[in-house]
Chains A and B, each alone.
Chain A
Amino acid sequence: MNLVVLIAIGVVVVALYVWYATIVTRRNKVAEALSGIDVQLSQRHELIPNILAIAKRFLAHEQGLLADIARLRTTGQERIGATDPAAIAEKFAAENQLSAGLGRLFAVAEGYPELKSDAVMVRAQATYQEVETNVAAARRFYNASVTDLRNACQIFPGQLVAALAGVGQLPPFFEAPAEHRGAVNAADHL
């Protein structure tokens, strides 16, 4: 009888340890994904001064928009490297605002043929597209990692082990900006 109890306790301890190890692995994966996002966001931030410098030459009437973008970039840059879930959520919100601002800028640029056809602007826009694709990819990697971590923490006995594994407040998802949430048109693929 004693042996059965000992085996049962052993099984529970091993199961809890495996769960603990899973949560730690997934927490680290989230940290890795978050640093991947920061790398891509830094690239976005590095690109913005060049875009603004070119746009200023043509968009004299859009100084408000340009100032907004510069301000949002500064805000976003300050939050790079944040690890606290609340600060991460603020960072994501700021970055989504910045993304929306840049989207508006390129939409406005459509109305200025000289700006639109400027060689430097064309190159900057292509680089921006590439950076945005990478930001989106990093966001997907991060969100997948967060989902895994949340599943491990929220399914029993995850709640019991999460605190031991150093996971207090769960990290937030990085929602895609509204303009990126369009549906994929399957008809185009056939």
Chain B
Amino acid sequence: MNARPPGGAARALALVLLVAALAWAAILFGAVRQQPGWEGWVSGLFGGGFMALLIAAAGAWGVLFTLRRANRPAAGPPQLFLAEGELAQVLAELEEVRERTKQQIHAGALWRIPVCVVGVIALWVLGQTGDDPPDVFDLILFMGGAVLAGYAWAAWALSEAYRRLYKARVLPKIAADFGALTWRHAQPPLDEYRRHRLFPDWDSAHAEDEIHGEYRGLPLSIIELKLIRGSGKNRRTVFNGLAAAVTLPRGLSGTTVVVPDKGMFGNLAERMRGGPCQPVRLEDPVFEKAYEVYASDQISARALLTPAFMARFMALAESGRFGAPAALIQDNRLIMALAATHGRNLFEPPSYRKPAAGREALTQLHDDIEAVLRAADAVIDLDQAARLQPR
């Protein structure tokens, strides 16, 4: 066994000692500044020395802990996903990228953390010249924050790059297991959503993932979408869920919008806004009460919204799988907005700290795609089953 610590660890220990010395000097400066004379020197020397010892001990423990953890044999074999073919190759490549990312983050953290800590010490010293100088406990608090900030600074960009790469490489392969489907960075038609008021007004939209391709013989696109209104304390989520678009094998024309009922005044305001779509009065009183329908072509709207379609639409809303759905139909393209009943983000890849081929993460991604395809099934069945029912 090598008796000397590796180069990186030796540098880290040296930096820890340097930071401890700086903290000592800073506290001494602060003490003398607040209590000029021998009392300030004594309390600064002892208090600063104690703090420097604490920092050195904690830092040394941190370095040794990291070192031992890196060299420690695994308690058991990691739970890996037994991939085959292209996916196995992709996962092997990603594992290499992950190792490289981890090393780059550690290397970056080695100088970014001390820089942040030194910066905080400098600020603390600067604060001693003010009217309300911060005390030693503030310094401890700031230094803890600086360690976290330094690590985040080192990790943020690299872990994001790894996360994006993982999604771009792995998700298309998993999606392909379900048929002619793939994954891509989402391109939601936000202008269409806004123009037809499919959702309540929003200020910012977040859409990262889209599963698209052909499913059950129909062109399909499912986007995970989050719409936010306001900012700061007034920030609220107006929609969080899936926007599933299917091109139906129909001869529909024009635009039809189905949105949850907004009450008497809300509906009136909606009608006052005008536009090419006129209200559609449907025969089903329960549906009429729960939803408002606007269409540019009254006949085409009713060709889709058959009594069976309406019954199925309401059954979908009452199933508890999604919140109250809304729909936008443009010619043959049906877009359903299905609000999620859970708060979890879908399609989240594993962290760079976990193996690329981790079974749990890959199973979760597989399950996520399966879940959105169940939503697609619900949308496709909405039309197909409705067409088998009496008109």
Number of interface residues of A (CB under 8 A): 27
A132: interface (CB < 8 Å): yes
Which of A130, A134, A189 is the one whose CB lies under 8 Å from B311?
A: A189
**Stretch in B77-85, B110-118, B297-305 touching the partner:** B297-305
Number of interface residues of B (CB under 8 A): 25
Q: Are B306 and A190 in contact, with the CB atoms below 8 A?
A: no
- Consensus secondary structure, chain A interface: helix
B355: interface (CB < 8 Å): no
CB<8 Å pairs between A and B, sample of 17: A129-B387, A133-B306, A134-B251, A134-B299, A136-B303, A137-B391, A138-B302, A140-B282, A140-B283, A176-B391, A184-B307, A184-B390, A185-B389, A189-B311, A189-B312, A189-B315, A189-B316
Alpha-carbon separation in the docked complex, A148 to B298 (Å): 15
Q: Which residues of B contact A184 (CB under 8 A)?
A: 307-308, 311, 389-390
Alpha-carbon separation in the docked complex, A186 to B391 (Å): 14
Q: Are A188 and B387 in contact, with the CB atoms below 8 A?
A: no
Task: Closest B residue to A43 by CB, please name it.
Answer: B251
Q: Please give the residue numbers on chain A whose beta carbons come within 8 Å of chain B beta carbons, in ascending order.
A: 33, 36, 40, 129-130, 132-134, 136-138, 140-141, 144, 148, 176, 179-186, 188-190
Task: Closest A residue to B284 by CB, please name it.
Answer: A184
Which of B302, B316, B385, B389 is the one whose CB lies under 8 Å from A140?
A: B302
B319: interface (CB < 8 Å): yes
Q: Are A137 and B299 in contact, with the CB atoms below 8 A?
A: yes
Alpha-carbon separation in the docked complex, A183 to B281 (Å): 20
B271: interface (CB < 8 Å): no
Q: Are B312 and A136 in contact, with the CB atoms below 8 A?
A: no
Q: Which residues of A contact B389 (CB under 8 A)?
A: 182, 184-185, 188
Q: Are A190 and B250 in contact, with the CB atoms below 8 A?
A: no
Interface residues of B in 251-301 (CB under 8 A from A): 251, 281-283, 298-301
Alpha-carbon separation in the docked complex, A141 to B301 (Å): 10
Task: Closest A residue to B300 by CB, please name it.
Answer: A137
Given A184-B308, A189-B315, A133 and B303 contact (CB-CB distance below 8 Å): yes
Can you add 9 more A-B contacts, CB < 8 Å, to A134-B303, A180-B390? A40-B299, A132-B391, A133-B303, A137-B299, A137-B302, A137-B303, A140-B283, A184-B307, A188-B312
Q: Which residues of B contact A33 (CB under 8 A)?
A: 298
Q: Are B390 and A181 in contact, with the CB atoms below 8 A?
A: yes
Q: Are A188 and B385 in contact, with the CB atoms below 8 A?
A: yes
Q: Which residues of B contact A136 (CB under 8 A)?
A: 302-303, 306, 391
Q: Are A141 and B385 in contact, with the CB atoms below 8 A?
A: no
Query: Per-position contact with A for B218-259: 1 when CB-CB < 8 Å, else 0?
Result: 000000000000000000000000000000001100000000
Q: Are B298 and A186 in contact, with the CB atoms below 8 A?
A: no
Q: Which residues of B contact A132 (CB under 8 A)?
A: 391
Q: Are B391 and A180 in contact, with the CB atoms below 8 A?
A: yes
Q: Which residues of B contact A134 (CB under 8 A)?
A: 251, 299-300, 303
- Among A130, A133, A190, the most chain B Cβ lie within 10 Å of the Cβ of A133
Alpha-carbon separation in the docked complex, A67 to B306 (Å): 32
Query: Per-position contact with A for B365-391: 1 when CB-CB < 8 Å, else 0?
Result: 000000000000000000001010111
Q: Are A133 and B315 in contact, with the CB atoms below 8 A?
A: no
Given A133-B306, A133-B391, A134-B251, A141 and B298 contact (CB-CB distance below 8 Å): yes
